[in-house]
Amino acid sequence: MSQSYSSDIATGLTPHSNWYNDVNASLPKRVHLLDTTLREGEQSPGISFTTRQRLQIAWMLDYFGVDCIEISPIISPEHEESCKTMMEAGLSATIVAHVRTLAKDIDVARRCGADWIAMYHSVSDVHLQHKLRVSREVAVQRSIDAVEYAKSYGLKLRFTMEDASRADPDFLKSVCTLVSKAGADRISLPDTLGVLRPMGMYNLVQTVRKVIDTPIDLHCHNDIGLALANALAGVEAGADQIHTSINGLGERVGIPSLAEVAIALKLLYKEDMKLRLEMLHDLSELVSGYTGVVTSPSEPIVGENAYKHKAGTHVAAIIRSPTAYEIIPPKSVGNRRRIVFGELSGKNGAAHLLSILGMKLGETEAMQMAQGLKSLHLGDLFELELSETLESAALQSDEEGQQE
């Protein structure tokens, strides 16, 4: 009998050491998800949404279960309209209006009916000198003034320390302290250029947490491919909100994808989040459909290849028990399991194919078929979906499990 798993990924996991129990340790704080597909995602080259598309994405993200949805109302009148409509849509998620540290931007957010805003100002010297051409003193004063202005209207606000990862640590600590004192309800520590390593992000969060107890957001760019790892290191150090986007869209190469972050938190940390994980694949497809930007087949969790098995040894194992090569049941994230037939097929794959065709033949015929597929030298020939509940067509011999 082949083994199938429950669609609850927390119980459906392959028993694994991962590496000893400390990796499954719970996080210091319950982690929240802020999805910024509609703000950071729209900064991705080639991406722009219509108001209707923005609303559909927001509605789906809300139903999926993210805590916050971020949008920028200041880009254009259409963005302002989208933001306003989202505020009025009665979603459970908090809508966060992302603006600059300018009174006129805060006024736009207020016009939209925002309760929560996020405002950003650079804190690294490279940005202050070359991007904004202001002194540290001016930067601090501008930041405090903007926070006080927003608070005077009773807004909740996150203050983003743009380019925090390249800022002078003492200056960063002092800005964090000052804006928290001025009333910021959250502080975002972005790795704006994606230059941190996980231990660096851990140290950054720990350092800031020593001077303020304001809740911390993590916004990690993926320039070296470390965004997810850095975000996880940051929550291990006590941050409690991770920024994501569908398909990882964002400026340059983007930020961690919603799918990666959700599965990492559920699977590795057993976070008790009420998320409709089975929507992940549809969310990814929705955004690819709207934008025409197709995700890579090797995109984790939602990619076309995420649960596709090819080598004879892998297919043989999957037919016996999917847990051998799958971390979660594909259906639990709305994806599908497929096996690839062709040059690399083994006799177990061939036997499975024969059984699907209603041909209950023996090992010799399966072997002949596998040889036949190899001898064509045509690489991959076709793929077939393999159901979640497998009727085992595995051959009795498990010699193939050892074959290279």
Which residue ranges make up the site for ligand HCA (CB under 6 A)? 40, 118, 120, 160, 162, 188, 190, 192, 217, 219, 221, 251
CB 294 within 8 A of CB 286: no
Q: Give least dist CB 139 to ligand HCA, A.
A: 15
* Residue 326 contact among Cu ion, ligand HCA, none, beta carbon within 5 to 8 Å by kind: none
**Residue among 104 and 274 whose Cβ is closer to ligand HCA:** 104
- Cβ-based nearer residue to ligand HCA, 71 or 317: 71
Q: Which is nearer to ligand HCA, 100 or 276 (CB)?
A: 100
- At closest approach, how far in Å is the CB of 250 from Cu ion? 6
Residue 240: is it exposed, middle or buried by C-beta count within 10 angstroms (0-12/13-18/19+)? middle
- Rounded Cα gap, residues 143 and 188, in angstroms: 14
Q: Indicate which of ligand HCA, Cu ion, none lies near residue 347 (CB less than 5 to 8 Å, by partner kind).
A: none
Q: How far is the CB of 161 from ligand HCA (least distance, A)?
A: 8
Among ligand HCA, Cu ion, none, the one that 162 touches (CB under a kind-dependent 5 to 8 A) is ligand HCA
Question: Which amino acid is residue 256, in one-letter code?
Answer: P
Q: Which is nearer to ligand HCA, 44 or 323 (CB)?
A: 44
Site for Cu ion in 25-44 (CB under 5 A): 40
The CA distances from residue 134 to 76, 104, 124, in Å, are: 26, 19, 11
Query: Per-residue x/- mask for Cu ion, residues 38 to 77, rule CB under 5 A?
Result: --x-------------------------------------
Q: Which does 400 bind (CB under 5 to 8 A by kind): ligand HCA, Cu ion, none?
A: none
State the nearest-atom distance from the C-beta of 290 to ligand HCA, in Å: 21
Identity of the residue, 254 or 303, whose beta carbon is nearer to Cu ion in the bound complex: 254
CB of 322 to ligand HCA, least distance (A): 38
Can you tell me which residue has the tokens 């090819």? 310
Phi, psi of 354 (to 5 degrees): -60, -40
Pull the structure tokens for residue 127. Answer: 């940005």
Strand partners, 385: 338
Q: Decide whether 105 or 326 has the Cβ nearer to ligand HCA.
A: 105
Q: How far is the CB of 118 from Cu ion (least distance, A)?
A: 11
In the complex, the smallest distance separating the C-beta of residue 95 from ligand HCA, rounded to whole angstroms, is: 15
Burial of 263: CB neighbours in 10 Å, binned 0-12, 13-18, 19+ = buried
User: Which listed option, Cu ion, ligand HCA, none, makes contact with residue 83 (CB within 5 to 8 Å by class)?
Assistant: none
User: What's the min distance (Å) between Cβ of 279 and Cu ion?
Assistant: 24
Q: Which is nearer to ligand HCA, 187 or 316 (CB)?
A: 187
Give the Cα separation of 38 and 83 in Å (integer).
10
Give the nearest distance from C-beta 159 to ligand HCA in angstroms. 9
Residue 334 contact partner, candidates Cu ion, ligand HCA, none, CB within 5 to 8 A by sort of partner: none
Of residues 251 and 282, the one with the C-beta less far from ligand HCA: 251
* Residues sharing a CB contact under 8 Å with residue 285, sequence separation 6 or more, in sequence order: none
CB closer to ligand HCA out of 72 and 321: 72
Of ligand HCA, Cu ion, none, which one does residue 118 interact with (CB within 5 to 8 Å by kind)? ligand HCA
- CA dist 185 and 172 (Å) reads 17
| Chain residues that interact with Cu ion, rule: CB under 5 A | 40
